[in-house]
A and B are shown apart, each in its own frame.
Chain A
Amino acid sequence: MEITLQVNGTRRTVEVDPRVSLLDLLRERLGLTGSKKGCDHGQCGACTVLIDGRRANACLALAVAQDGSDITTVEGLADGDRPHPLQAAFIEHDAFQCGYCTPGQLCSAAGMLAEGGPSAITDDLATDPALTAEEVRERMSGNLCRCGAYPNIVTAIVEVAR
């Protein structure tokens, strides 16, 4: 099937087999290997991209179902040569080791910062809580980091959230 996507600001029209995930489309056909595959089942978050501005697991998204969507991957986070504040904060706070979860962490954090609203641990669900470290930890729990960079990831995100 032919689909058209806006990927990191560029219009891409591609012919895809309906079985292809958005993640495999990006990695295997569009040369955008920044998004990572850690589990292919929504369980690790390494493939997180922004679909129409919202964070999503590209491994569980069928490419055909995204026809017409706007996709942002880690390659599209920076503003030209100027790194996204999250990217700069991740480097400064050593928020990664092997770096394999990092693109997903960054896209997830970018999506999360735009979300607002309560989380499962917010005491009063009627209020929008401040993004404390505790709130960030809950909201970022869909992104596993086996290297255990969590404390630094949280520090970096909280710094940018301020």
Chain B
Amino acid sequence: MNRIEGHDKVTGRATYAAEYPVEGVTYAYPVQAEIARGRITSIDAAGALAMPGVLTVLSSEDPPELAPDADPELGLFQRREVAYRGQIVAAVVADTYENARAAARAVRVTYQEDPHDVRLRSDHPGLYRPEKVNPFYPADTEKGDVAAGLAAAAFTVDVTYTTPAMHNNPMEPHATLAVWSGDGDLTVYDATQGVSTARDMIAKTLGLPAERVRVVCRHVGGGFGAKGTIRPGTMLAVLAARAAGRPVKVALTRQQLFDVTGYRTPTIQRLRLGADADGRLTAVDHEVAEQSSTLIEFAEQTATPARTMYETPALRTAHRLVRLDVASPSWMRAPGECPGMYALESAMDELAIAVGMDPVELRVLNDPEVEPAGGRPFSSRNLVACLLEGARRFGWEGRDPTPGVRRQGRWLIGTGVASSTYPALRRPSQATATVENGGYVVRVAAVDLGTGARTALTRIAATTLGVPPEQVRVELGDSDLPAAPLAGGSMGTASWGSAVVAACEEALRDGKHGAADTTDAIKAQEDLARHSFGAQFARVRVDMDTGEVRVSHLLGIFAAGRIIDEKLARSQFVGGMTMGLGMALMEATVTDEEFGGFSNHDLAQYHVPVCADIERIDAAWIEEDDRHLNPMGAKGIGEIGIVGTAAAIGNAVYHATGIRVRDLPITPARLLA
């Protein structure tokens, strides 16, 4: 189905956060820390205040009143300590963007600088085991005897993969427009993935009841996790508007996004795999080192996919975290699965070579009956079907595994495969369905960040109601609507859809109105391992002289429950795979070890794929009929597309060249080294 808001988006009428026309709007521009660690000794705003158009300056000289337990990233201007370079330490509010920005440069901040530590190392003395990893998994798991499994193995692989810091870089930079009413109510137009979540976080940070805050987000220019929770820019707009007594707009610059809106932690991953003479796994050990800031503990769940993927008598997964003088990492598309599966699926390729077995076959051979770590049964698992269907479509059969032998002119050609997985979870949501003007209006505080939520929910409602989609209007993107979880973790459609179906069913019974809350239903669900799976195939060519890699073809086959809309689903999968290609070949944020922060903080230096990088990407799926999920039978599709892509490409590069690059991204520099 074509997107419901398609016309608005192609005509420029779709309104994003910074674009709501508000009378008397002013602009706030942040001042950022120029040291990586230390203390602010003074902030002199006199020069800035004297500049044209300046209304006020916010800083810790006069800390705004906030809830005492405000999150340290969101509790702006509360403390004098600097935790990372780029942290917001002050802000100027002025009548125009140009004036605010010019005056921000005139704010003089002096520091007492302390030595900083911004480099993640696998032998860092500060590494520790976190209580849990995002969002709620145990940091470590262990079953069987890994040492024995490795010792008994006929073949072993013991390799370390690293992935760099990466930034989500949604095309719409984080932006917020905050408007306080005369009686102290707050309306926030925010670029967010969750209006209910954003409202709750803003209210909590301010110490206000949630009813006093309304968050509106009708359209958002992507987020990929970076807008899953509110970031400092949102609070800056809220506090600046309160201080200035005027509506305030904050539109972060692309450079500021790199500093204050989160990123994917770099990882160092050691993989030890053992297999018997037939290729059956005897042990899997996946240990990860990663970083967080000194402000908050965010531990990415990088080793968790190993708990799900392959049958093995001995399995150990472990996460170690070190708190550095860096910005707080956060969610980026498929946190955990994405970097973790890159390492695991690359190591599986290395194992296939060691065993002398086809990599598709190796994966099929080691497909488990029940979840390897916990022993829970799967609600459905069709990895093998994806691998076999993908192999068939891709023309995998008869592949010669010898690396570095296929040439076309100066190009070396290779193919690679990797598996994908992502959890299929749900969160409680509310929704209503009401008969209005001869049709139905469905209300749910969901957000459509480009996933097509508006369209998918319309279809879900129409199907439940037994009416054509034209008779359903879905209202979303407003925290005044029935509360709903954020768009993230590939849970959006499943969570909101469950509530929409229930509300629509009740409306049918009632004839007028239905309201639903899925909290109890979700609590009552069976304890099963619910995951999507997939198989990705890549064909690459590598220039022998220059090390340039081009991806001639990517094919992804996914098993993700029932697909609600083919057009939307294909776009989601392809989009994820595109980002995976970026991860494989070009995406890396460079930590500035001397000064702290990141040095390549814009889109000319941090490369994401451009149109010319994407030659052919095909995505298809295996229909699943899984009754243990939700009323739609759907698993999420927003993230699985990025999982496995980088490994498939890396494996193909090895097949093409015989060079195993174990540090992403695979650049000409690495291939020529």
Contact = CB atoms under 8 A, between A and B. Distances in A.
Direct contact of A and B (CB under 8 A): yes
Interface of A: 17, 19-20, 24, 27-28, 31-44, 46, 73-75, 77-78, 83, 87, 90-92, 94, 96-103, 106, 121, 134, 136-138, 140-154
B399 interface: no
Contacts of A97: 222, 450-452, 571-572, 575
9 closest pairs, A vs B, by CB? Answer: A34-B12, A100-B221, A98-B450, A148-B578, A99-B9, A148-B575, A97-B450, A33-B19, A43-B603
22 contacts: A24-B97, A33-B15, A39-B254, A40-B254, A41-B604, A42-B604, A74-B12, A75-B11, A77-B11, A94-B567, A97-B572, A98-B219, A100-B221, A103-B10, A106-B10, A134-B615, A136-B611, A144-B603, A148-B574, A148-B575, A149-B574, A149-B575
Contacts of B170: 98, 100, 146
Interface in B366-396: none
A29 to B, nearest CB: 9
Nearest to A19: B98
Given A37-B173, A75-B12, A147-B222, A91 B612 contact: no
Interface string B83-102: 00000000000001110001
B483 interface: no
Given A38-B171, A99-B219, A147 B11 contact: no
B97 A100 contact: no
B221 A99 contact: yes
Contacts of B16: 33, 36, 100
B611 A100 contact: no
A50 to B, nearest CB: 13
Given A97-B571, A98-B219, A38 B612 contact: no
A34 B11 CA distance: 7
Nearest to A76: B12
Contacts of B616: 151
Interface in B610-648: 610-612, 614-617
Given A36-B171, A37-B173, A141 B610 contact: yes
Contacts of B537: none
B138 interface: no
B608 interface: yes
Interface of B: 2-3, 5-16, 18-19, 21, 96-98, 102, 169-173, 219-222, 224, 251, 253-254, 449-452, 567-568, 570-572, 574-579, 602-604, 608-612, 614-617
Contacts of A103: 10, 12
A27 B450 CA distance: 22
A35 B15 CA distance: 11
A74 B12 CA distance: 6
A147 B611 CA distance: 12
Contacts of B11: 34, 74-75, 77-78, 83, 87
Contacts of A102: 9-10
Contact of B221 (A31, A36, A138, A143): A36
Contacts of A151: 574, 614, 616-617
Contacts of B172: 36, 38, 98, 100
A126 B15 CA distance: 44
B614 A39 contact: no
B145 to A, nearest CB: 43
Contact of B98 (A17, A38, A90): A17
Given A40-B254, A98-B220, A146-B222, A141 B603 contact: no
B171 A101 contact: yes
A94 B2 contact: yes
A154 B611 contact: yes
Contacts of A144: 171, 603, 608, 610
B464 to A, nearest CB: 24
A141 B576 CA distance: 19
Given A87-B11, A152-B571, A92 B221 contact: no
Contacts of B567: 94
A63 B72 CA distance: 40
Contact of B169 (A19, A33, A75, A146): A146
B108 to A, nearest CB: 22
A41 B611 CA distance: 19
Nearest to A140: B611
A142 to B, nearest CB: 8
B568 A94 contact: yes
Given A27-B19, A103-B12, A151-B574, A41 B602 contact: yes
Contacts of A44: 171, 254, 603
B98 A20 contact: yes
Contacts of A34: 11-13
Contacts of B611: 136-138, 140-141, 143, 145, 150, 153-154
Nearest to B619: A151
A138 B97 CA distance: 34
Contact of B253 (A40, A73, A136, A153): A40
Given A98-B170, A100-B172, A154-B611, A91 B3 contact: yes
Contacts of A145: 171, 611
A17 B577 CA distance: 44
B263 to A, nearest CB: 14
Q: Considering residues A33, A34, A92, A147, which has the most beta carbons from chain B within 10 angstroms of its beta carbon? A: A147
A146 B571 contact: no
A149 to B, nearest CB: 6
Nearest to B2: A91
B19 A137 contact: no
Nearest to A38: B171
B167 to A, nearest CB: 10
Given A36-B172, A91-B10, A98 B253 contact: no
Nearest to B175: A37
A138 B138 CA distance: 46
A142 B612 CA distance: 10
B612 A141 contact: yes
Contact of A90 (B10, B97, B604): B10
B450 A147 contact: yes
Given A38-B173, A103-B12, A92 B2 contact: yes
A98 B222 contact: yes
A146 B606 CA distance: 13
Nearest to A86: B10
Given A97-B451, A98-B219, A146-B222, A35 B12 contact: yes
A19 B21 CA distance: 22
B578 A91 contact: no
Contact of B97 (A28, A106, A141): A28
Contacts of A98: 170-172, 219-222, 449-450
Q: Considering residues B2, B11, B171, B570, which has the most beta carbons from chain A within 10 angstroms of its beta carbon? A: B171
B173 A91 contact: no
B224 A17 contact: no
A154 B221 CA distance: 20
Contacts of B15: 33
Given A137-B614, A141-B612, A145-B171, 9 more contacts: A28-B96, A37-B173, A96-B6, A99-B10, A100-B171, A101-B171, A141-B610, A147-B575, A154-B611
A20 B610 CA distance: 28
Nearest to A16: B98
Contacts of B7: 83, 91
B144 to A, nearest CB: 40
Contacts of A83: 7, 10-11
